[in-house]
């Protein structure tokens, strides 16, 4: 559980970086690519969803969506379902 929380904190920090440095014209594609790689390293296949941000040529839409944080929360929820005892 601590590992999931650590990944969530990392995701929030990376999203904050994306919201700030990701707004620099011409630099947003590099930041979005780095965020996609970081997401894959943190969560594996589900992290590929972070690459949708590269498809936004303006770099403005993804500035309002905390993609990495959403992926982290979704993966934390999946972990709880797997660890839950079977219901009778």
Overall average pLDDT of the 75-82 stretch: 69
Would 21 be classed as within a structural domain? yes
In a domain, 72, yes or no: yes
CA angle 82, 7, 37 (to 5 degrees): 105
Q: State the Cα–Cα distance between residues 66 and 85, nearest whole angstrom.
A: 31
Position 88 in a domain: no
24 domain residue, yes or no: yes
Question: What residue numbers bound the domain in which 47 lies?
Answer: 2-82
The number of domains in the chain is 1
Q: 87 in a domain, yes or no? A: no
What is the pLDDT at residue 83? 54
pLDDT of 8 over the 90 cut:
yes
pLDDT tens digits, residue range 31-59?
A: 889 999 999 999 999 999 999 988 877 77
The answer to whether residue 18 is domain-embedded is: yes
User: Which pLDDT score, from 0 to 100, does residue 85 have?
Assistant: 60
Place 3 in a pLDDT band, splitting at 50, 70 and 90: confident
Q: Is 53 inside any structural domain?
A: yes
């Amino acid at each position: 559980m601590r590992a999931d929380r650590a990944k969530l904190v990392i995701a929030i920090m990376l999203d904050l970086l994306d919201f700030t440095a990701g707004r620099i014209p011409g630099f947003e594609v590099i930041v979005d690519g780095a965020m996609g790689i970081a997401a894959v390293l943190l969560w594996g296949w589900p992290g590929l969803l972070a690459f949708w941000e590269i498809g936004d040529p303006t770099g403005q839409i993804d500035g309002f969506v905390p993609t990495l944080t959403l992926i982290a929360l979704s993966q934390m929820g999946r972990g709880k379902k797997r660890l839950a005892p079977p219901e009778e």
